[in-house]
Chain A
């Protein structure tokens, strides 16, 4: 028998409000099953169980705001230890089946799925999301679905307050990161000529479901390099650094109202380029709709952040604890590079690695970035 506890929801989230139980006492559960839904500033998050057994008792009640580690339920069966957030070494909890060429998968129709903007508006208008019919992906409630109801008394906290809360949580996590992690930075500019040509030739005839973006090539090269340099990929915990043998690639997604979520693509190293691209589209869509899973919120072993849309050359980022490395890409754009002694204009991207000095040093960081470069020079092998 064990107590199933509220898992970590990522470095910048300390609690979630329980809005739905998907199991009841007597139900059998298996590792990876979604058993509950909590509401957070970053949308609804599906809570997965990390053991097999039978639900004996529900300890948390609907409406309760539960901090990470709070007891949720008693699970009987094979498990004997207290369930904790999964260690990095654990095999990923039931990743969404990713049939590569399929478009965005509809999220399961359970719980209150709502986009962060819809949630903010509901808070602003005093609307109970339980009574709102969603028109988004998989029935998720989107901004337009939330309309003022006659009987609902408008009440604070308003949209600004919710955003302020998210900003405060991000600040707290980043402050902790800067306090605890001795960051070092390495920057490298990569010639994307070969990748650009290959991408144009490959994607030209494809239907949109299987079209690729440069961001997917970069993410794939980062994933391969992370698999080859264990000191960049894993978690730093109370017992020091534990490298991960899988690559759960955190992908920074900017929220339109402000703020940021960096959910993980689990087992990214097992996905080929087309499958990784499909996973990136799916994750982006589910982030927008506010439908992510607890494992995706907490299991990233390395984060990749692309600022392609912003047009800037480079950004030095802050590592997301307990990870030990973050790769940021500026916008791919023509740059003046020197080739065979002559200055030429080439499509290029500047990558910046922020890494943890407790685990590695600049020389290894440099090797990591040059490995990414090497992979991008042979796009057909990605």
Chain B
């Protein structure tokens, strides 16, 4: 899975938990909570979905590392490689 695939999959899941966001309007540096308006319930639903999709464990301490699409793509690439 390339980092681009990972980014697409991540955005897929973001849209799944927050279907009222226009995917075309999401920038790589957009912050899930501050810019896209996800609340903590949405973030938890996202973490559950990402854990299932990528088969990785995302502890609470790592939430800041999936806070934007850019950060998340790098983080998930690193986790799935590991």
Contact = CB atoms under 8 A, between A and B. Distances in A.
Interface stretch (A14-22, A140-148, A349-357): A140-148
Contacts of A135: 16
B37 interface: yes
B45 A281 contact: yes
A143 B17 contact: no
B29 to A, nearest CB: 19
Interface string B29-45: 00001000101111011
Interface in A71-120: 103-104, 115-118
Interface in B1-51: 15-24, 33, 37, 39-42, 44-45, 47-49, 51
B78 interface: no
B48 A288 contact: no
A290 B20 CA distance: 10
A288 B22 contact: no
B52 to A, nearest CB: 8
A213 B15 CA distance: 22
B37 A256 contact: yes
B51 A208 contact: yes
Interface string B59-70: 010000000000
Contacts of A289: 19
A203 interface: yes
A143 B19 contact: yes
Contact of A256 (B20, B47, B57): B20
Interface string A302-313: 000000110000
Contacts of A116: 20
Nearest to B58: A208
B41 A215 contact: yes
A288 B44 contact: no
Interface string A111-154: 00001111000000000000000011100101110000000000
A290 B49 CA distance: 19
A349 B58 CA distance: 27
A288 B15 contact: no
B33 A136 contact: no
Contacts of B18: 256, 288
Contacts of B44: 208, 211, 213, 281
Interface in A237-281: 254-257, 280-281
10 A-B pairs with the lowest CB-CB distances in the bound complex, closest first = A142-B19, A117-B20, A115-B19, A284-B41, A208-B48, A136-B19, A208-B47, A256-B37, A256-B20, A103-B48
23 contacts: A103-B45, A103-B52, A104-B45, A115-B20, A118-B19, A118-B20, A135-B16, A136-B16, A137-B19, A144-B19, A144-B22, A144-B23, A203-B60, A208-B51, A213-B40, A213-B41, A255-B20, A256-B18, A281-B45, A284-B45, A288-B19, A309-B33, A309-B39
Given A104-B45, A144-B19, A309-B33, 16 more contacts: A103-B49, A104-B48, A117-B20, A136-B16, A137-B16, A137-B19, A142-B15, A144-B22, A211-B44, A213-B41, A280-B41, A285-B17, A285-B45, A289-B19, A290-B19, A309-B40
